[in-house]
Structure 1
Amino acid sequence: MGKNPPNITVIVPTFNRAQYLAECLDSILAQTLPAAQIIVINDGSKDRTKDICDSYRGKIEYYELNQVGKPSAINYGLKKAKGEYIWIFDDDDVALTEALERFVEPLEKNSAYGFSYSTFYFTSSGADGRIGPINFELRIPDLEARGFLIPLLEANFLGGAALFARAACYRAVGDFDPALLRSQDYEMAVRLARRFPGIRVAGPGTFHYRQHAGERGATQDRFAVDERKRKWLEYDQKFFCKFYQEFPLADYLPPGHSLDKKKRQALLQRLAIMSYKLLLPEVIKDLRELAATNDPAPISAEEYFIIREMMLRVPRHEAGAVYDHMEFFDEIRRLASASPVMRLVRTKFVRALLARFRNRLEFLQLPGTFWRIVRLYI
């Protein structure tokens, strides 16, 4: 890495997590490659957060805000950051000792990359409140065939501290959205991924993503742990509506594909992504635009893969899928009555529904599968 160590700033926004904060900070201070700057922003905590931070005087920079919300706290930290690299770290997570060294190495070797990213561990708290047994490791999807952006739009694999970026990249894409009290890391990851190439950190996870029963969210939107997935969906929907309006259709194609030749595939892909966020109005719009295309070619293997995934995938928010909404199947039937393209698409949805049944082998689902196929035609 050269004679001078890389200049890294770690930003830790915190709110009412005194019971986890010391272990979090200890893990950052124990790095084999020390951070040049550790910024802790206490966003109006009412517990012992300040006392915990006072015990780290001389090791951290400490700032207090008045419950402005996590994204605004991060923005404050970014303005105070002096490092060439930025790692934003949650107050209840625990870093593995070589995390910073592993994150920065590929960026130091190749200036073409704007950020690095890694897998991580979903880990429970132990009986003593410290980080405990690993439940499982995040699986990063295959990014070779479809590129980086499409899998990221389908589901966030760059959550929390999984992303480590150059400070210049954060400056280029702008502040975190203050309105996103949840999922602000996901929205920022998409913005970064659209502007800069990323490189995966080789090897296992770099940190423990703590699973615990404590409350989540800012004062403005506090909620219990069993509500967190519903909240992810609620905030994901906010910025995916914006993405739908702002992103060009070509963004929904793998690198190297031409929209002139692959518009139908791009529409199917955008439709699928919006379906994973349960944005039914946007899904219906894309079905109608798809029906209006004049592409008599048979459905390609890539297009069928998209359709099949729509019927098989269980979104992480666990609030259901487009499969559960009969108006989706009714709209396909209505459009197929006048659109040759939609008739081609309909046959592949029938095949995908049968694949869903075979894949799960749940005979109680057979009536539901049959009824959806009927709705596609009658």
Structure 2
Amino acid sequence: AGFSYGRHDRFTDPADGGARVWQDTGYWRDCHPRDFLIATMEDMFTHQSGMLFDKTLLDAIGPFNTGLRRSVDYDYILRAARISTGAACPSVVFHQRQHDGDRGAGANKFPVSELVRRWIQHDQIIFGRIHDSWPLDEFLPRGETIDGPSSRRQALIQRGVVMARKKLWDLAMQDFALAATLMERELSDTERRLVRRGTQSKYGIQELLDNHVIGQGLRDVASLSSVGAELIGELATGFRWRIRDELTRCHPRTASRLLQLYITLTSSAFHNPHASESPWYSDDFLATTHKSPGK
């Protein structure tokens, strides 16, 4: 292995001097070494504080991209994983301190409430470049290459999923549209599992509720072919756990909006003879989304 990586846990020291509060790792992917690059493209889950690099690999990677103000470590890990293999350590190897103070230095300071938005912004810079410059077969497990329509479609779906999780929906829909028109054969089990991850970003999917243009674009993909309808239907199944989570947290309005979008996106798939399943919601579930908090 050119590098190794381990888990971390997180802690917060209360401002009032109370007992230190500990949390677990949070988002984490257990993956085979050949899948590490794709797993990391979907979301960064390991950190350089918990990594060791072979010196020859560091020489091959080159310096940090100092043009990025955030996500510099993410960019670096992607570059390492692209040319080398990683080895996972299941143990907690470092403790990550959480705090509510400002981030950045000097004139570039900003409040912690802006942190996620800025991460997303810089991740989009990185992945916009990746979409334009990386060969498509980089989106297949390591060792696999594009050798026909089937592997090309899987790579397109995987790249679309990565772009969707980075909220680059215009690029994601381009890839989904190409996949939908590449071949008529229904999605494989692997492709179904892949596409469902497109709406499971750790940063949520609020943009799908706020921007109707994205929903219309996804419906356009669904209208291209029976494969397109199936693809978008499977993509929308990622809403399920989010709907249930919103209900658990007593956010019925958000859950209801997500359910309505789910129904809209999957309606064409459920009329498709190649669809893999029937609607999972019921009249009772629909009624549940309209209950007031605490009911």
TM-score, length of structure 1 as denominator length: 0.61
Match of 2:218 in 1: 332
Match of 1:165 among 42, 53, 60: 53
Q: How many residues align?
A: 262
Q: After superposition, where does 1:1-378 map in structure 2 within 5 Å? A: 113-125=1-13, 132-138=20-26, 140-144=28-32, 147-203=35-91, 205-259=92-146, 260=148, 261-293=150-182, 295-311=183-199, 313-316=200-203, 318=204, 320=206, 322=208, 325-349=211-235, 351-353=237-239, 357=243, 364=253, 365-374=255-264
User: Alpha-carbon deviation of 1:227?
Assistant: 1.4
Bigger proportion of residues as helix: 2
Q: Counterparts of 1:145 and 1:116 in 2: how far apart (Å)?
A: 10
Go from structure 1 to structure 2 and tell me whether the alpha carbon gap of 1:227 and 1:286 turns closer, same or farther (over 3 Å shift).
Answer: same
Go from structure 1 to structure 2 and tell me whether the alpha carbon gap of 1:315 and 1:297 turns closer, same or farther (over 3 Å shift).
Answer: same
| CA displacement 1:54-88 (0-9 Å, x = unmatched) | xxxxxxxxxxxxxxxxxxxxxxxxxxxxxxxxxxx
Go from structure 1 to structure 2 and tell me whether the alpha carbon gap of 1:239 and 1:220 turns closer, same or farther (over 3 Å shift).
Answer: farther
Q: Counterparts of 1:372 and 1:128 in 2: how far apart (Å)?
A: 44
| CA displacement 1:154-202 (0-9 Å, x = unmatched) | 1111224122212221211111111111110010000001111111224
Go from structure 1 to structure 2 and tell me whether the alpha carbon gap of 1:301 and 1:226 turns closer, same or farther (over 3 Å shift).
Answer: same
> Where does the alignment leave 5 or more consecutive residues of structure 1 unmatched?
1-112
Aligned residues of 2:34 and 2:143 also touching (Cα < 8 A): no
Amino acid at match of 1:320: Q
Go from structure 1 to structure 2 and tell me whether the alpha carbon gap of 1:321 and 1:200 turns closer, same or farther (over 3 Å shift).
Answer: farther
Aligned residues of 1:333 and 1:377 also touching (Cα < 8 A): no
Amino acid at match of 1:341: V
Q: Counterparts of 1:279 and 1:222 in 2: how far apart (Å)?
A: 26
Larger radius of gyration: 1
User: Alpha-carbon deviation of 1:355?
Assistant: 6.7
Aligned-partner SS, 1:190:
helix
Aligned residues of 1:333 and 1:375 also touching (Cα < 8 A): yes
Q: Counterparts of 1:356 and 1:178 in 2: how far apart (Å)?
A: 36
User: Alpha-carbon deviation of 1:224?
Assistant: 1.2
Q: Counterparts of 1:352 and 1:156 in 2: how far apart (Å)?
A: 19
Q: Counterparts of 1:137 and 1:368 in 2: how far apart (Å)?
A: 28
TM-score, length of structure 2 as denominator length: 0.77
Identity %: 27
User: Alpha-carbon deviation of 1:372?
Assistant: 4.5
Aligned-partner SS, 1:243:
helix
Q: Counterparts of 2:205 and 2:221 in 1: how far apart (Å)?
A: 27
